[in-house]
Structure 1
Amino acid sequence: MIAIHEESSIGEVFFQAAQAYAGNSLLAVPANPARGYHPEGWEISYAQAAQQVTALMARYRAAGYGLGHRVGLLLESRPEHMLHKLALNALGVCCVPVNPDYRPGEFAYLIDHAQPDLLLVLGSHADAAQAALRESRHQPPVLLWEQWPQGLPMAARPALAGQVGPDTPASILYTSGTTGRPKGCVLSHHYELAAGHAYATRGGLARIREGGERLYNPLPLFHVNASILSFQCMLLTGGCQVQTDRFQPSRWWQEVRQTRATIVHYLGVVIQLLLLQPPSDEDRNHCVRFGFGAGAEPQRHAAFEQRFGFPLLELWGMTEMVRIMADCHEPRQVGTRAFGRAVEGVQARAVDDLDQDVPDGTPGELVIRHSKQTPRKDFFSGYLDDPAATESAWRGGWFHTGDIVVRDAGGMFHFVDRRKNIIRRSGENIAAAEVEAMLLTHPLVEQAAVLAVADALREEEVLACIVLKAGMPEADARGGVAQQLFAHCHGGMAYYKAPGWIWFTPQLPTTGTQKIQKHAIFARGVDPRTVQGMLDLRACKKRRQA
């Protein structure tokens, strides 16, 4: 395994790995004739990747890009995203991945907040980029992927003096916040390498064999899981990341077998949909040693392992700290929401509202740190241009995750719920406040409260409770109003954020200071989906094709 030290940078480690594992495959793409790129599949060795990264670096350097610059990448999950990221990081450029499902307003917010010096965009998203630029104050040049490299513009400002180091920003990843707008998590070179090292050394059932793993990841490259956690693990150990474009249950096993995957990454929705596939004699015809992920429903966990013949190792991590805890040592606690114990470099506690430890078996907020002496070591560098939010999250010397957990007598942590006002749908974090803000811009809406509601397939769904302005339609006409409100959200936000359920009510419960009491909207024990007048709009949630 490639050794990392306190002064390591991503470019330095990549070229060491390219030399050590020259003939191994670094990246692979499964064959898929219906996909718009590499339809017959694609694979690149470490040595070939080093040649391409070196050529990319020369192009970017000649155009003046270097330390202190930021480049937005809207390349979906194409493997070239990672090659450009390696080249840019080696030069000291920070990458800002863009979610291709963003609507113009969301994309414009990222542009104004991250202030990229360049946007590298697939031609299929050119209209989306131009629409975003019409709404943004910052106006970076746009280079279409199909025009690379001839169209690469010169950098508008000089690169900073100095060398790329461990604290140099490597990525800014946007994660939903509770105040409505996403926060930009600044991730350093050291953070990304430390994340890969943590994965590579977790051991137990998650033991990584040097030069022997092919990791199939269906999660997108604008998330921390695929672009950092799994990729850096493979890079450090001479393995190969198999990057598909998106999860498709009908293609999953075909791609896993074709690419000889030995590890798969998953979310809860992946497990559910794979179990819904008809049983087959081919269910165990694969090379998978283990699955690594989060959100496997307790009642489905053992059934999946028995049917497909490999363990699902539940983990916990977040963009701010992805040096995961994992339930990867026997005996595991299958059929629970266990996700691991505190380990060296990840101290963890469950605390109450006063940050006092709660007794084992009692729900409390998960707080974490590296150690008492160096609490923030290996964590994210901070929220971009938001030191107040950064310090608030780090109050008392511990990072407050917003997740409610229970620790058992053996030190194992079990996930309970999210304390933050966040909805988790198919692996996407959705800020309720952001959806509420969008609803309140509609002329028919007086008040809006957005909640998470259970969903059998996608873990949680978005429920909007709405008070209409005086004089609005009676109940028999409100189906049409609900469609209007859905279309308003669906047109202005990523498709997954739009309400899957809408419920109209004459009033919402409030405190004496007129703050909505979400916990009091529905009686305790009542499933909101069964309440009279609840409107199901889930079938309307469609990803727009680029």
Structure 2
Amino acid sequence: MITTAEIVDRLESVPSIDRLLELGCRRHADKAFIRWRGETTTYAEFDADVARVAGALTGLGVREGDRVAVMMTNSPDWLALWFAVVRTGAVLVPINTAHKSAGLRYQLEDCRPSVLVLDPGFVIHLDVTQLEHRPRHVLTAVPRSTTPPVVATGLGPHSPAAILYTSGTTGPPKGCLLPHGQYVAASFLHADACGYDESTVIYTCLPLFHINAQNYTVLSALAAGGTVALDDRFSASQFWDRLTEVGATAFNFIGSMAASLWNQPERESERQHGARVGFGVPLAPEIWESWEKRFGVRVVYTYGMTENALPAIVDSRETPVPAARRGSSGQASPTSEIAVVDEHDRPLGAGEIGQILTRARIPWTMTTEYVGRPDATAEAFRNHWFHTGDLGYLDADGYLFFVDRLKDAVRRRGEMVSSWEVETVVAQYPGVSECAMVGVSSELGDDDILVVLVTDDPGFDPARLVAFCGERLAHFQVPRYVRRVEELPKTQTQRVEKYRLRHEGLLAGDWDAGVPRRAREVHEAPTH
């Protein structure tokens, strides 16, 4: 794997996102950089378009340090705007396209952009007159001009590049200020770990407002001299066909995507594609080997979040990983240190579960602050470590295993229950396509376990599911309540919004294993 010293050297010569594009254009001017809806844009063509957009931003008065918010679906225009913003030294603020009314106003008031660019279809969700701090310009198309841009000079790893908001699955989103150094270092690290080169075509259908698509597709492709194949949405039924159509050699997945692909009926196209590397999380260890064999790819697993890039990653040269290490995120990466600690920040031994902490080995390679939230920043960075809010453990060889979000773990009957472990088992039950576990209040003062699931089985029986879990889980991990829904609430990066499920608590129709069968039948019997 690339070394810490090599990344430091590369940051010396390529200190910013714009310089990364400059390097790509110098080496691969006539090579395909973007594939989108049957059309191809070369490195040189993309760079020229970035200059036109940067010129238009200059004409609007955008200068170094200004904030430019973007609320657009995936497209080459999105990419051109992003690179134009950083070329002027401004700070990009990607807005989740699912936001409406209060959620949208919250982020815009929080980041206070000078310019907002949004797709026309999103205008209905915004009334700028309701904003206390209104953008100077609100645009419904990416502007272009022949005016020469004012290019920021002196941009370095320390310069702010973007404000990305946390997904908000556990509470209100926080704006993470990310420096150029974090983006550039992670792009070289990721490209090396995945074995990317000039022949690589990375496919993504993940939204560009998310760090995954930005850093681990677009910038990784730039770092390797490869090509980006871009889509605007995920389709489990069409996924492998799309890989073949765009000539992908690698792809990214996140959230429920791996499980959704696994639950699709087998078809020939899932082995006819040219992709050999799938980068992402999560993937259940129980189906790991079968998943790789079925789809003909090697999985590169990782641990990271918006704030800390890739503190742990599996090197593709180690894949396929041995059975004992399936589910491991790898060892600490060249950019990071990792620790697992107790509630008093004391290091724990091998195999002991505690909170995962990270810190940068290289300056300016992780978030510098939560914008406007000095209290949250101080809390997260106490004792000179970044507190991730995740539970995990290190094995004797320093391999990191993620267990759960600290807030998603449930204490039941004196034991900590990992939602990930329970969900892994429930997802194996025939007919279950998606599921989520949350804790709900118990009359005994502890938490009880609620499983919310999606299934297309008309004869689904919650009692059989609970019995299935009882054969595979410890008694304190077995769900008490089961709820069947049409779909789970999710962010656009396919992460289940568990805070919504926790807020709902128990509903009238939830199946309760604690009610004796006869009583349940009487309770559920129709009345006349």
TM-score range (shorter-chain normalised) is 0.7 to 0.9
Question: Are residues 462 and 71 of structure 1, via their aligned partners in 2, closer, same or farther at CA, if it must alter by over 3 Å?
Answer: farther
Question: Are residues 249 and 161 of structure 1, via their aligned partners in 2, closer, same or farther at CA, if it must alter by over 3 Å?
Answer: closer
User: Percent identity at matched positions?
Assistant: 27
Where does 1:196-211 land on structure 2 (aligned, <5 Å)?
196-202=187-193, 206-209=194-197, 211=198
Where does 1:351-430 land on structure 2 (aligned, <5 Å)?
351-371=341-361, 377-420=364-407
Conserved 8 A contact 2:169-2:496: no
Match of 1:15 among 7, 14, 22: 22
Question: Are residues 254 and 530 of structure 1, via their aligned partners in 2, closer, same or farther at CA, if it must alter by over 3 Å?
Answer: farther
Q: What is the rounded CA distance, in whole Å, between the counterparts of 2:439 and 2:340 in structure 1?
A: 29
1:337 positional shift: 2.1
Conserved 8 A contact 2:311-2:338: no
1:530 positional shift: 4.9
Aligned to 1:91: 88
Alignment partner of 1:400: what SS? Answer: strand
Aligned to 1:34: none
Aligned to 1:138: 133
1:168 positional shift: 2.0
Match of 1:223 among 205, 210, 217: 210
Aligned to 1:340: 330
Q: What is the rounded CA distance, in whole Å, between the counterparts of 1:291 and 1:161 in structure 2?
A: 36
Partner amino acid, structure 2, of 1:25: A
Question: Are residues 500 and 393 of structure 1, via their aligned partners in 2, closer, same or farther at CA, if it must alter by over 3 Å?
Answer: closer
CA offset digits 1:392-412 (Å, max 9, x no partner): 211111111111112112221
Q: What is the rounded CA distance, in whole Å, between the counterparts of 1:66 and 1:183 in structure 2?
A: 24
Conserved 8 A contact 2:313-2:333: no
TM-score, scaled relative to structure 2: 0.75
1:102 positional shift: 0.7
Aligned to 1:287: 274
Aligned residues: 438
Q: What is the rounded CA distance, in whole Å, between the counterparts of 1:22 and 1:285 in structure 2?
A: 31
Conserved 8 A contact 1:263-1:290: yes
Where does 1:130-529 land on structure 2 (aligned, <5 Å)?
130=127, 133-146=128-141, 148-149=143-144, 163-176=154-167, 180-202=171-193, 206-209=194-197, 211-328=198-315, 329-330=318-319, 332-334=321-323, 336-371=326-361, 377-420=364-407, 454=423, 456=427, 457-458=433-434, 460=436, 497=497, 499=500, 502-504=504-506
State yes or no: 1:46 paired with 2:43.
yes
1:138 positional shift: 1.3
Conserved 8 A contact 1:109-1:136: no
Aligned to 2:121: 124
Question: Are residues 76 and 161 of structure 1, via their aligned partners in 2, closer, same or farther at CA, if it must alter by over 3 Å?
Answer: closer
Which residues of structure 1 form unaligned runs of 5+? 32-40, 153-158, 424-450, 468-485, 507-526, 534-546
Conserved 8 A contact 1:104-1:135: no
Question: Are residues 288 and 219 of structure 1, via their aligned partners in 2, closer, same or farther at CA, if it must alter by over 3 Å?
Answer: same
Conserved 8 A contact 2:52-2:144: no
Q: What is the rounded CA distance, in whole Å, between the counterparts of 1:253 and 1:394 in structure 2?
A: 41
1:141 positional shift: 4.2
Partner amino acid, structure 2, of 1:332: V
Conserved 8 A contact 1:337-1:416: no
1:345 positional shift: 2.5
TM-score, scaled relative to structure 1: 0.73
State yes or no: 1:101 paired with 2:101.
no
CA RMSD across the alignment: 3.5
Partner amino acid, structure 2, of 1:208: Y
1:249 positional shift: 0.8
Match of 1:75 among 72, 81, 103: 72
Conserved 8 A contact 1:365-1:405: yes
Partner amino acid, structure 2, of 1:140: P
Question: Are residues 263 and 460 of structure 1, via their aligned partners in 2, closer, same or farther at CA, if it must alter by over 3 Å?
Answer: same
Conserved 8 A contact 1:463-1:499: no
Question: Are residues 146 and 410 of structure 1, via their aligned partners in 2, closer, same or farther at CA, if it must alter by over 3 Å?
Answer: closer
